[in-house]
Amino acid sequence: MTGPKPLVVVGDVLLDEDIEGVATRLAPDAPAPVVDVTGDRRHPGGAGLAAALAARGGRDVVLVTALGDDPASETVRRALSGRVGLLELPLHGTLPVKTRVLAGGRPVVRIDRGGGTPGEPDDAVRGALAGAHAVLVADYGRHTAGAVRASLEDVARHTPVVWDPHPRGEPPVPGARVVTPSAAEAVALCPGSAGTSAMSLGAFAERGARLAERWRAAGVAVTLGDRGALLTRPGGGTPMLIPAPFRADGDPCGAGDCFAAATVAALADGLLPEEALQRAVAEAAAFVAAGGAGNPGLWHAPAVPGPAPDPAADAFGLAKAVRARGGTVVATGGCFDLVHAGHVGLLESARRIGDCLIVCLNSDASVTRRKGAGRPLTPAADRARVLAALGSVDAVVVFEEDTPEAVLERLRPDVWVKGGDYSVQELPEAEVLRTWGGQAVVLPYLDGRSTTRLARRAARAAAAAVRPPPG
């Protein structure tokens, strides 16, 4: 009996090198920053990164790529050993090395060197492609995809193929299930857009549809950074926008590889393209928030890590990170059973006080004890999701107690905010805040709005709707 079919990644591997440092002065002989180096790291990039990301969770992945006998190729082999299976094409030349110099986490300059030409595939490569469960082509314009194009054309007739294109690379083979250009790649591959701003959603929808027709692809998903991804089909029609679940502030290097790897893995799991892209957008956002390809834990962690936590939902990690960079942590709390204009105004005002706003949310049992039978009207998971969707809220944490003192002792916010007719002296949380130097404050509340009044009004309206008309 044979084992499950592997997921096969085809493409150009690079060696990525990040030299990190700090820049506090300019060179005396030129207006260029002087970077004092604090560390450096090297890891596979391009198709190598995509294959390693696809293999997370224990998935069987085979990488088809061109490697030589140069030091960069040896570094890649060692890094990928135990993570993915390697099927090598001969490389005539040296492996490309992409070096970024970063100061304070920001790229200052990038240096590219090396390069070669892939040789012909052997029977092992052709057999791996023919027996693949799904295929990802990570094309970086270095001709590996071209070397195996004939096999890829055959595979696309019966196997899901995701193609991550490059302006200097091969066009996707006909029948590709999803092609995943970035916004910049879509502009380079299809520069014209009639009647709309060059960077508008309409322009990208037009480009995506035209590219899908040109490539005879089932769909083109243009990645738009923190706006998510836009899925288009040949012939136009209404595109589907898959928004990012949260704004990810971090190094975007490698986000496209993560997006493509997550898409092909989801298709291999049997998801529809629309479902696969939702998963891919969420995974790419989490990848960027965790540090992108430069995240040391990506390569130092075990080859089969557990599910990655959603950094936007980790209220305690967020509070720690904001404090570490000298920011102000603001928290507020309540039941938020029916979010109304009064809540929104309070949260917007609270967010302006500091650098993040964390909402401490009463659990369902806690709301029932405080408000009585019949409450909450909305379960905690839904209340948390509504709050997290507000632009003023950075994270939500649910607590089980009647009052939030215990969760506040873990969060240790700098400012605790309440709205309404309280005075600071009446707030039981104020004393807790003082133990670490925090401050409780009261903000004005939009008068006449409350969940209880809304619920009573809705009950009266419902009763009136079912009351028989007077005879």
Contacts 24+ apart (CB under 8 A), 169-172: 169/139, 169/140, 169/141, 169/142, 169/143, 169/145, 170/139, 170/143, 170/145, 170/146, 171/214, 171/215, 172/137, 172/215, 172/217
d(CA 307, CA 256): 20
251 is catalytic: no
| Torsion sign over Cα 172, 175, 177, 178 | positive
Q: Evaluate whether 415 touches 329 at the Cβ level (below 8 Å).
A: yes
Catalytic residue among 16, 164, 251, 257: 257
Q: Which residues pair with 99 in a beta bridge?
A: 17, 111
Q: Evaluate whether 42 touches 97 at the Cβ level (below 8 Å).
A: no
Within 10 angstroms of residue 470's Cβ, the number of other Cβ atoms is 4
Which of 155, 273, 140 is closest to 212 using CA atoms? 273
Q: Evaluate whether 51 touches 140 at the Cβ level (below 8 Å).
A: no
- What's the count of helices (H) and strands (E) in the chain, helices before strands? 17, 17
Q: How far is CA 227 from CA 197, 210, 246, 308, in A?
A: 16, 21, 9, 21
Which of 368, 311, 331 is closest to 443 using CA atoms? 331
SS3 state of residue 293 = helix
**Would strands 178-179 and 7-11 be described as parallel, antiparallel, or unpaired?**
unpaired
List active site positions: 257
